[in-house]
Amino acid sequence: MSPIAKQMSCAEVVALVTDYLEGRLSWGERRRFHRHLTGCDGCTAYLAQVKQVIRTLGHLPPEAIPQRALDELMAAFRDFHRG
């Protein structure tokens, strides 16, 4: 690579955002990624939004177990071990 690394474009940042979040960028790419973010409000917003989506997905409420289903399972368990 040339001593002056090529600037990363917005399209590249968008394409690499998951690799970035997964820690899969090389040291040099990561540096270019950060450098781009410093000067780009659009990409800064984009990254924040992807993170926001991830956080939201991780906060979906747990699904409740119907008591009836649990009762059935416990009965099946007893049957199995009795049989």
- Which residues contact other proteins (rule: CB under 8 A)? 9-12, 14, 17-19, 22, 24, 40-43, 45-46, 48-50, 52-60, 62-66, 69-70, 72-74, 76-78, 80-81
Q: Which is nearer to other proteins, 24 or 35 (CB)?
A: 24
Instruction: State how far the Cα of 35 lies from the Cα of 27, in Å rounded to an integer.
Output: 12
Task: Identify the residue whose tokens are 């649990």.
Answer: 70
Structure tokens at 75: 């009965």
Least separation in angstroms between CB 22 and other proteins = 6
Q: Which is nearer to other proteins, 31 or 48 (CB)?
A: 48
CA distance 51 to 83: 51
Alpha-helical segments (H) within the chain: 10-21, 27-38, 41-58, 67-82
Closest contact distance (angstroms) between CB of 32 and other proteins is 14
CB 70, min distance to other proteins, A = 7
